[in-house]
C-alpha cells in the first residue's frame, strides 16, 4: 500500500482504465463507479474481445452508461483479440484477424466520435510462426494507415503502444525506439501527422529502459501516458518506480495529455486502490 499521497498530482490529468480497474463490476456499472471514486475521465480496451462489430444495442448501452455517469471517454482501443489473454493485437496478423481489425476500424471511430474521444490505440499484434516478419510489417503499416485515416476523420490521434518482452515475448514492439519508429512510418505513409507514441511507463520499465531518458527523447511525440508500478503492475507506491517524479518530468517537458491508470487493484475492491491520489486530483480540469 502506498506510504503517502502524491504532492504534485494536481498538475496531472488522470483517467481510469475500466478494462483493468473496476472489473469486479459488470461493464455498464464501471463508469458510475469511477465517477463515484471522484474521476471524470475513463479509457477502455475494446470491450468485446470476441466481436469487432458488436450489435448496435451493445454500443448504445455502453455509451449511455458513460453519459449517465457524467464521465468523459478519453481513450479507446481498436479490436485486439483476447485482451487480457494471449493476444496482443490483430492488425499485423494475416488472414482472419487482420480482416476483423479492418472491420472494427470504423466501428471504433464512430463510437469514439459519439463521445468526443480523441485517442484510439492500435496494438500491433504478435509475430506468427511461419510468416515472414516483413510480410507482417507491411500488413501492419497498411492497417495502421487505415486506422490513422479513420482517427483523422473524427479529429483523433492514433496511438502506437510498446509492450514488454517478458510478458509479451512474440510482440515485436518492446522498446521506445521501436514504437517511435512505427509512429514515424505511419505519419510518413499518411502525411496526416496524427500517429503518436503511447508511453506506458510500466512496460518500458519491464524492458529495463532508462525512463528519464525516454521521457527526454520522446515526450514531444507522445500522445498518451499509462502508468502502473513495477514489480507487480500495482498502484503507484506498491513497487519501486518513482512514478511521481517521472510524471513531474513529463509535465516539465510540456506534456499536458492524459495519464491513464492502467494497474491491477490487487486483492481488494478497485475503490480502495487510489489512496495514493488525492481526491481533488482525480477530477480532470
Catalytic residues: 161, 262
In DSSP terms, 260 is beta-bridged to 15, 226
Give the CA radius of gyration of the chain.
Answer: 18
Q: What is the DSSP letter of 269?
A: -
Q: How far apart are the first and last CA of the chain?
A: 27
Phi, psi of 153 (to 5 degrees): -60, -30
Q: Cα 222–191–172 angle (5° rounding)?
A: 50
Give every CB contact of residue 82 below 8 A, 6+ residues apart in sequence: 49
Would you say 176 and 214 are in contact if contact means Cβ atoms under 8 Å apart? yes
In DSSP terms, 121 is beta-bridged to 77, 159
Bond into 84 cis (ω within 30):
yes
Closest CA to 151 of 193, 188, 91: 193
Phi, psi of 195 (to 5 degrees): -80, 130
On the 0-12 / 13-18 / 19+ scale of CB atoms within 10 A, 277 is: buried
Amino acid at each position: 500500500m502506498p506510504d503517502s499521497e502524491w504532492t504534485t498530482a494536481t498538475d496531472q490529468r488522470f483517467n481510469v482504465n475500466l478494462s483493468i480497474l473496476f472489473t469486479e463490476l459488470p461493464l455498464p456499472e464501471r463508469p458510475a463507479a469511477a465517477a463515484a471514486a471522484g474521476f471524470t475521465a475513463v479509457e477502455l480496451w475494446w470491450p468485446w474481445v470476441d466481436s469487432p462489430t458488436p450489435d448496435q444495442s451493445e454500443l448504445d448501452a455502453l455509451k449511455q452508461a458513460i453519459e449517465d455517469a457524467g464521465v468523459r471517454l478519453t481513450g479507446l482501443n481498436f479490436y485486439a483479440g483476447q485482451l487480457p489473454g494471449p493476444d496482443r493485437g490483430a492488425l499485423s496478423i494475416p488472414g482472419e484477424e487482420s480482416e476483423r481489425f479492418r472491420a472494427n476500424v470504423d466501428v471504433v471511430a464512430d463510437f469514439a466520435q459519439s463521445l468526443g474521444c480523441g485517442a484510439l490505440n492500435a496494438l500491433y499484434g504478435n509475430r506468427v510462426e511461419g510468416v515472414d516478419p516483413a510480410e507482417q510489417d507491411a500488413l501492419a503499416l497498411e492497417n495502421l494507415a487505415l486506422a490513422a485515416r479513420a482517427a483523422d476523420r473524427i479529429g483523433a490521434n492514433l496511438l502506437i503502444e510498446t509492450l514488454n518482452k517478458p510478458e509479451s515475448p512474440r510482440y515485436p514492439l518492446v522498446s521506445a525506439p521501436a514504437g517511435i519508429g512505427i509512429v514515424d512510418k505511419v505519419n510518413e505513409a499518411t502525411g496526416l501527422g496524427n500517429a503518436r507514441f503511447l508511453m506506458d511507463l510500466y512496460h518500458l520499465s519491464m524492458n529495463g529502459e532508462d525512463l528519464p531518458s525516454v521521457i527526454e527523447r520522446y515526450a514531444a511525440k507522445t500522445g498518451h501516458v499509462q502508468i502502473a508500478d513495477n514489480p507487480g503492475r500495482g498502484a503507484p507506491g506498491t513497487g519501486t518506480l518513482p512514478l511521481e517524479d517521472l510524471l513531474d518530468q513529463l509535465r516539465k517537458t510540456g506534456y499536458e495529455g492524459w495519464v491513464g491508470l492502467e494497474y491491477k487493484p490487487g486483492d481488494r475492491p478497485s475503490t480502495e486502490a487510489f489512496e495514493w491520489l488525492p481526491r481533488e486530483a482525480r477530477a480532470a480540469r
